[in-house]
Amino acid sequence: MIGRTLDWFEDFVAGGGMADAADTARLELKRQHCLLVMAEARDQARELGLTPRLVDLATVAGLVHDTGRFPQYRRYRTFRDADSANHAVLGLQALARQGGLGHLAPRDRLLVRLAVVAHNRRALPRRLAAGGDAEALVLAHIVRDADKLDIVRVMRDHFQAKGAKDEVVFLGLPDDPERYNPAVVADIEAGRIGNYNDMESVNDFALLLLSWINDMYHPRTRRLFFARGHVDALFGQLPDTPAMRAFAGRYRERFGPEAP
């Protein structure tokens, strides 16, 4: 099943190539992200002991979850949905128009489409969260977690890259080493995820990523968030002040591997 989706995906991405080197690099990052979310979703599905069919569907959904990023960037030259269009919806349109899920049974296609549309919502759509469709819910949780874990990897690479921050990746936010918005810290402490509207500087992006711990559904995701060094790396980007050090301590105590 995944072989056919992969062939489709690679053709789809190759067919939307762009001439400019910076554009090509950004699209390649998204392609890599899709492949890694695919692997992450598959591993999570296996760890949950799901049936082979659901493992396959999680793998497919992980791969195609960001299909919409490619038409989004070509059309609008941004990955910011607020300035363009919801990339999950763009992805569903592209998948439907170009037959990306054509080889799946109708029920399986629906499950993948639901996972795609739910992947970038701030919270799960209420009807999905109600759990009446257990298969849809399990797939949506897997893709959302796999996506978060890999976005953190991508962003960490960007934070640590030498030179000026890519303004498309950092949404044009100013890179002021001392500045951060305490509202995002307050969100984390209150058990919420941060709000994109509260992002005022590059540091707030690091805090936003740290806030996702509150929306990681599977223990494996939280475990890997720490074990892969993402938490340390993100705190390493933030100002070294007493307030921030105290916050980092509370964060590790509450969410880290030693947490009760």
| Contacts with Fe ion, residue ranges (CB under 5 A) | 66, 120
- The smaller minimum CB distance to Fe ion, of residues 36 and 248, is found at 36
Give the whole-angstrom CA distance, residue 258 versus residue 73. Answer: 41
Residue 66 CB, shortest distance to Fe ion, in Å, is: 4
Going from the C-alpha of 1 to that of each of 8, 104, 111, the distances in angstroms are 11, 8, 14
Q: What is the dihedral of CA 255, 257, 259, 260, to 10 degrees?
A: 130
Find the shortest distance in angstroms from Cβ 42 to Fe ion. Answer: 18
Q: Token digits for 9?
A: 């995906």
What is the token pair recorded at 113? 């489409």
29 neighbors 132 (Cβ within 8 angstroms): no
Contacts by 51-57 with C-beta closer than 8 Å and gap 24+? 53/108, 54/135, 54/138, 54/139, 56/1, 56/2, 57/1, 57/108, 57/111, 57/112, 57/115, 57/135, 57/139
CB of 87 or CB of 222, closer to Fe ion: 87
For Fe ion, the closer CB: 115 or 238:
115
C-beta nearest to Fe ion: residue: 66
Number of other CB atoms surrounding residue 173 within 10 Å: 17
Minimum CB distance to Fe ion, residue 65 (Å): 6
Query: To the nearest whole angstrom, how small is the minimum distance from the Cβ of residue 71 to Fe ion?
Result: 13
Nearer to Fe ion, 69 or 235 (CB): 69
Q: Which is nearer to Fe ion, 87 or 109 (CB)?
A: 87
72/181 with CB nearer Fe ion: 72
d(CA 172, CA 201) in angstroms, rounded, equals 9
H or E, element range at 28 = helix 21-47
Q: How far is the CB of 119 from Fe ion (least distance, A)?
A: 6
In the complex, what is the shortest distance from the CB of residue 88 to Fe ion, in angstroms, rounded to a whole number? 6
